[in-house]
Structure 1
Amino acid sequence: MDSSTLLQSVAAAGEYRLSLLFEGGAQTPEAFAVFKELHSSEMYSLYRHPQLTEAQNYGPWLLNVKHKDQLGEYIVKTPGTLGVIVSTRSPDALAIQLASGCSIITPDGTTALVRFYAHHVISVLAQQNEQDWHTLLFHGITQWWVPEEDGWQSIDIAQSTAENPRDHAVRLNDEIWQKIADKLEVRSVLTQWQKMPVSQHFSPCVQRDMVIKALGKAKAAGIATPLDQKIYALYYLNGGKKVLESEEMQGKLLEVSQGKTSLAEVLLREE
């Protein structure tokens, strides 16, 4: 993944603190135990609530990067890297600050554990600048980068407008919640694909974006039934793009869209 723009921007950031955001669950328990021992003085969990203590090793962490020229190496060598944050805050203070983003209060008043640092979520939260929690959640953060399929992308953080903010709780109305909540079809395909070897070459956030793209391809091809859409997406994600987009396949996909056959039957005949 191309990180040249990210590294150039960080190099020009001046005397700010640099943190890598990653998920411990991307490593095996044994590998994470070794990693944690090596970096114990530089790691800060975002799971601060007592009810989340037992899940800390699998959840989000900040890794303090003391020297900018180490960032590229850390990105490559740290499994589960999902963000790079440039801020004026100490790593410990930043982790406490960001911990409030892990638990979001939904429109019906329930609390949901959310990967708020995922691109599709943080990009939405970063624009809710009239909210108290926005000021407190993004305090002192000057840059936030997330991995995408074609490279690292910078998140646009709107300037906070809330006066005298006090409420740290991230509360979302229905409109904003719907923007960050995945549809059932996305969750279903993502869950299945994450069990397959090919998916492990991509970070969780990139996996989600690829699933959405694959489902979009299925719908664009005229595939109407949920099952056929799921099969199309999984086949596409597992290296079947060339076959699905071939001229020979287009007539067969038309038959699928017309209900004359199923995609599963078509693909079985291709074997």
Structure 2
Amino acid sequence: MMSDAARAWIEAQKKTQSLFAIVETGLLSEPARQQFLQSDPSRRPLMLQPEFAELRNYGPWLVDVSHMTLEAFLAHEYFTGCTAMTSWIRTDCPAEKLAAHLSDALLAKNEAGEVLMIRSYAPEVLPMLYARADLSWHAWLFGPLEEWWIPSADAKWQCFKGLNLAQPGKYQPIFLDAKLWTAMEIDPLPYSLTTELEKEAPEVFTSTCHGDRLNQVKVALEAGRDQGLTESEDVSLFASLLLMDREFPANWPMWEKAKERTVGEKLPLGVVMRELSE
């Protein structure tokens, strides 16, 4: 049975619409990132602002994938086994205009008047923005897109519908009201640990889906907190060890002593474990 995403992809190609992927190059392995930057000149960086110049080659890029089948796209070496491919877009908007539009969408203001950079394209952020159709910038943000697809659990896709305007409308700065600001205060630890493990130890994961992997890491981090650990480094170390060895900490006889010293004496878990293992 054909998925909704596959149907949308084929329909876009029949209508000669454009298909674009957003690739966060900093999440590629270093050799793949260098290869990406040196290859197809039709790829466009989204961090166009001068203040992002140093981050540009590590940030999001817009890639035209209209010529590919969905299967070939998903099997591409840049995207398998990592989170670099964050989403794909179906649209009638030309690439140059869409890149400028998505570049503007990297900036937002909060109620304090601060200008912030947001990963508006990211799978964990986009649904929160889409849910706020009551705010004036919503139609601007999603105006030039027919559909914006992000990966979800079980290798499926979640679709966000836009207005499919051939030209982006008048710029409307993204404003984070108190409700949205609170919702977007995302705990960065699961995301950073997932990214690190995908690069250094992808074998710990039981799925290739980013959402599933993120949930695995969240469960492992919660297990560390349930042990009484509070410091981010300690919780991350515990989660990593648990993901690498499902029997941890039950199979390490020094665990209760290590936990007692870490929690009771406020010592780093890594230091305590080294000392007890000598």
Corresponding position of 1:93: 97
Matched, 1:135 2:139: yes
* Uncovered stretches (5+) of structure 1, i.e. residues with no partner: 160-164
SS at match of 2:172: coil
Partners in 1 of 2:183 and 2:202 — Cα distance?
24
Contact (CA 8 Å) 2:20, 2:90: kept in 1 or not?
A: yes
SS at match of 2:157: strand
Corresponding position of 2:66: 66
How far does residue 208 in structure 1 lie from its aligned partner after superposition?
A: 5.0
Partners in 1 of 2:186 and 2:213 — Cα distance?
13
Q: Which amino acid aligns with 2:217?
A: V
Q: Which amino acid aligns with 2:241?
A: Y
Q: Which amino acid aligns with 2:5?
A: L
Partners in 1 of 2:54 and 2:67 — Cα distance?
31
Matched, 1:21 2:22: yes
Q: Which amino acid aligns with 2:218?
A: I
* Uncovered stretches (5+) of structure 2, i.e. residues with no partner: 164-168
- The one of 72, 84, 88 equivalent to 1:84 is 88
Which of the two has greater helix per residue? 1
TM-score normalized with structure 2 length: 0.71
In structure 2, relative to structure 1, the CA distance for the partners of 1:176 and 1:199 (3 Å cut) is farther
Corresponding position of 1:7: 6
Cα RMSD for the two superposed structures? 4.2
SS at match of 1:120: coil
SS at match of 2:105: helix
Matched, 1:198 2:204: no
Identity score, percent: 20
In structure 2, relative to structure 1, the CA distance for the partners of 1:32 and 1:138 (3 Å cut) is same
Partners in 2 of 1:173 and 1:38 — Cα distance?
40
Matched, 1:52 2:55: no
SS at match of 1:112: strand
SS at match of 2:146: strand
How far does residue 134 in structure 1 lie from its aligned partner after superposition?
A: 1.3
Aligned 1:103-122 pairs, distance under 5 A:
103-122=107-126
Contact (CA 8 Å) 2:151, 2:210: kept in 1 or not?
A: no
How far does residue 97 in structure 1 lie from its aligned partner after superposition?
A: 1.4
TM-score normalized with structure 1 length: 0.72
In structure 2, relative to structure 1, the CA distance for the partners of 1:110 and 1:195 (3 Å cut) is farther
Q: Count matched residues.
A: 257
SS at match of 2:125: helix
In structure 2, relative to structure 1, the CA distance for the partners of 1:66 and 1:193 (3 Å cut) is closer
Aligned 1:137-176 pairs, distance under 5 A:
137-148=141-152, 150-157=154-161, 166-176=170-180
